[in-house]
Structure 1
Amino acid sequence: MIPFNKPYMTGDELYYIKDAVNRGKISGNGYYTQKCHNFFKKTVGFRNCLLTSSCTDALEMAAILIDIKPGDEVIMPSYTFVSTANAFVLRGAKIVFADSYTNNPNIDANSLKKLITPKTKAIVVVHYAGVACDMDLIMDFANENNLFVIEDAAQAIDSYYKDKPLGSIGHLATFSFHETKNIISGEGGMLVINDERFDKRAEIIWEKGTNRSAFFRGEVDKYSWVDVGSSFLPSDVTAAFLFAQLENLQKIQSRRKILWNNYYNDLKQLESEGLLKLPEIPSYATSNGHLFYLVCKNIEERSQLISFLKDNDVFSVFHYVSLHKSPFYIEKNTNVELKNCDTFANQLLRLPLFYDLHMEDQNKIINLIKSFFQKNQSL
């Protein structure tokens, strides 16, 4: 079976983990945590960042930092993972779901204006598949209405909006290093802080609501409980694993982009024949090779294609179920119609894409897809 995903190891992960252990400090905010922070600041250009145990943790930190309270409204796409919504629901927010574009799973920026009310506090955007949302338009709406913007950039490492790295545009941003992402640490995430007013409080929330980090820097004579917070920081063992990956970022990205382009170029003919739809990258965005998907004509065709690929030892998967149709949401809210979101929920299919995917295996997948659609076309 060709799997959907296979975690890639650079070869240095165990070496750095052993080094972290030998240094005698494997709890959070150690030597390798700082090396990862410095990488993102110096190499990527983020002004400030904090590693977290997951992207979910980073989102929860963002919700605390912008002071979400019961009754506040937060706009976000319905086509996203549940963590995007849960982080704000936990603080009492009402989630207002927005639709996707017709040709792109990202949030339809043009729909935001009608969703903003006096209770709106933030807009959360999700850069699906590492492809940028229309950030200029989104930031314009936010600035006009005094709203915070959080970038859920879980899938968006090494991807850009115009010349800006994703995660550097909103007030806050979050990343994932889950084993399904381009750069991994098993579980792991990061909060990026682009607004300096959040710097000090973010560190306190990160350290369980204490000023512990300031104490170790010698800025205070003792540390104590000064704010809400939790244990959001990861072990330095996790950071050591992550650093080995970061050192190989461009190598990993180069390989994934080759695989992404192979799919796109070899399946383009099927799209030109009207048999399926492929990802559409807006002129302001780039692809980081995170995932490759195709869009079938309907849910029945997608189910048939999944079964056909599985019967031929290829594991493909669909993605998100529309959050606005989830039992948890419907129980507490009136149902809304988001046609484009439902289209992607019912028709989008992700294909295997990982560093160690061999060319012969990718060619097999491509040929199987071609044979499936050619057979269906002849029926």
Structure 2
Amino acid sequence: MNDAQVRDVITTETVAVVGVDFLGISERLDVLSQVCRDRNLFLIEDSAQSFPPASSDRPLADLVVLSFGRGKPINLMGGGALLIRREIVDRSLAVLGRYPLSEVVTGLSWKLKRSVFNLLMARLPFFILEKMPFLGIGETRFRKLKTISRLELPEALLSSAIFEFGARPLIHKLYDRELQSIEVFGWKLLGKRKSESTGGDPDTPRLRYAVLAPDKELRDQALRSLNRSGIAASAFYDKTLPHIEGVEEALKEKPFPCADDFASRLMTLPCHEDVKESDISLIANIIRGIAQN
């Protein structure tokens, strides 16, 4: 985020700034933490798409949000975690204690649901499901949060999920190598280079590999070509928040030209364990062909 613009939109009603680790690429938490300290605000790291969170190494955020939902790094088919800075734990627990606590039971029903989910996420079944428009696979939908509750997760389940994620292949390194030649044509490989304040950890698996096309027309052309070839390329969210039904009322004050431009050019590529070197070579050849024409 542009820190100068963040400062400009802070009002007396602002309580927190949320920095999002988008697709495993860390937000500049060091910059945002300075903004928050200057204005006495909370800094929240949204690490739903990244694990471990950036604040694991440098505890800049006051709160860190993790997601354990479908399609997230630690996939427990639901729930999440809130990590709290030590200095504010006592005050925070007093608030969190107001919400009801339920236990996740990993019985036969849960295991069956998990098995069906894993089966459907395999390459061929997912490819078929994605072609059925009435299912809305990959669509971004807004649902209002009606209740908040706490979940007690079995520690062994969480530990196992973290281990499985850490054991996933580092597919993004192959993308870095094979796609670097398209950068001379104006394409950008997001998160390829790690710096102190931004980028993804090179030794941490990614959910998706992010590429920014020079314009929307080339992005859409690449998506069509890749998907015709059996590669599950995606525009990801595709829309900015004001254009998602149900959200526009909260964000109707001003346009977001940078976000609109970013969303129109973003393309993501699969990083799951079934992606082979031959797939990435095919992807690179397709994108290079489009970039050079």
Taking a change above 3 Å as real, the CA distance of residues 241 and 372 of structure 1, as seen in their structure-2 partners, is farther
Residue 286 of structure 2 corresponds to 368
Taking a change above 3 Å as real, the CA distance of residues 337 and 295 of structure 1, as seen in their structure-2 partners, is same
Residue 273 of structure 1 corresponds to 185
Quote how far apart the aligned CAs of 1:308 are. 0.8
Paired with 2:194 and 2:165, the residues of 1 have a C-alpha distance of 24
Aligned positions of 1:86-97 closer than 5 A: none
Q: TM-score, normalised by structure 2?
A: 0.72
2:78 corresponds to 1:173: no
The C-alpha deviation readout for 1:157-208, integer Å capped at 9, x for no partner, is 12536942xxx43221111122322332122311111122213432442528
Paired with 2:195 and 2:28, the residues of 1 have a C-alpha distance of 10
The C-alpha deviation readout for 1:230-263, integer Å capped at 9, x for no partner, is 4331564xx65433222344322xx23xx11111
Aligned positions of 1:212-291 closer than 5 A: 230-233=148-151, 236=154, 240-252=156-168, 255-256=169-170, 259-274=171-186, 276-280=187-191, 281=193, 283-284=195-196, 285=198, 286-287=200-201, 288-290=204-206, 291=208
CA contact (8 A) 1:131 1:159 kept: no
Q: TM-score, normalised by structure 1?
A: 0.57
2:92 corresponds to 1:198: yes
Taking a change above 3 Å as real, the CA distance of residues 163 and 306 of structure 1, as seen in their structure-2 partners, is same
Quote how far apart the aligned CAs of 1:332 are. 5.2
CA contact (8 A) 1:177 1:183 kept: yes
Taking a change above 3 Å as real, the CA distance of residues 351 and 120 of structure 1, as seen in their structure-2 partners, is same
Between 317-326 and 119-128, report the one with greater CA deviation.
Answer: 317-326
Taking a change above 3 Å as real, the CA distance of residues 316 and 181 of structure 1, as seen in their structure-2 partners, is same
Q: Give the secondary-structure state (helix, strand or coil) at the position aligned to 2:8.
A: helix
> Which of 117, 123, 136 does residue 17 from structure 2 map onto?
123
> Which of 69, 73, 78 does residue 182 from structure 1 map onto?
73
The C-alpha deviation readout for 1:9-45, integer Å capped at 9, x for no partner, is xxxxxxxxxxxxxxxxxxxxxxxxxxxxxxxxxxxxx
Residue 48 of structure 1 corresponds to none
Aligned positions of 1:51-70 closer than 5 A: none
The C-alpha deviation readout for 1:268-327, integer Å capped at 9, x for no partner, is 1111233x1211445223333422111112222222211111111111111221113334
Quote how far apart the aligned CAs of 1:342 are. 0.8
Unaligned regions of 5+ residues in structure 2, if any?
A: 103-146
Residue 292 of structure 1 corresponds to 209
Residue 275 of structure 2 corresponds to 357
Paired with 1:188 and 1:138, the residues of 2 have a C-alpha distance of 27
Count of residue pairs brought into register by the alignment? 239
Residue 307 of structure 1 corresponds to 224
Q: Give the secondary-structure state (helix, strand or coil) at the position aligned to 1:174.
A: strand
CA contact (8 A) 1:207 1:230 kept: no
2:51 corresponds to 1:149: no
Paired with 1:336 and 1:354, the residues of 2 have a C-alpha distance of 38
Paired with 2:165 and 2:243, the residues of 1 have a C-alpha distance of 37
Paired with 1:327 and 1:129, the residues of 2 have a C-alpha distance of 23
Q: What amino acid sits opposite 1:349 in the alignment?
A: M
Unaligned regions of 5+ residues in structure 1, if any?
A: 1-106, 209-228
The C-alpha deviation readout for 1:52-85, integer Å capped at 9, x for no partner, is xxxxxxxxxxxxxxxxxxxxxxxxxxxxxxxxxx
Q: Which has the higher contact order (CA 8 A, sep 6+)?
A: 1
Q: Give the secondary-structure state (helix, strand or coil) at the position aligned to 1:292.
A: strand
CA contact (8 A) 2:210 2:268 kept: yes
2:264 corresponds to 1:346: yes
Greater Rg by CA:
1
CA contact (8 A) 2:242 2:252 kept: no
CA contact (8 A) 1:124 1:152 kept: yes
Moved segments of 4+, more than 4 Å: none
Paired with 2:4 and 2:250, the residues of 1 have a C-alpha distance of 26
Residue 112 of structure 1 corresponds to 6
Paired with 2:67 and 2:289, the residues of 1 have a C-alpha distance of 35
Quote how far apart the aligned CAs of 1:128 are. 0.9
CA contact (8 A) 1:279 1:293 kept: yes
Q: What amino acid sits opposite 1:270 in the alignment?
A: I
Identity %: 24
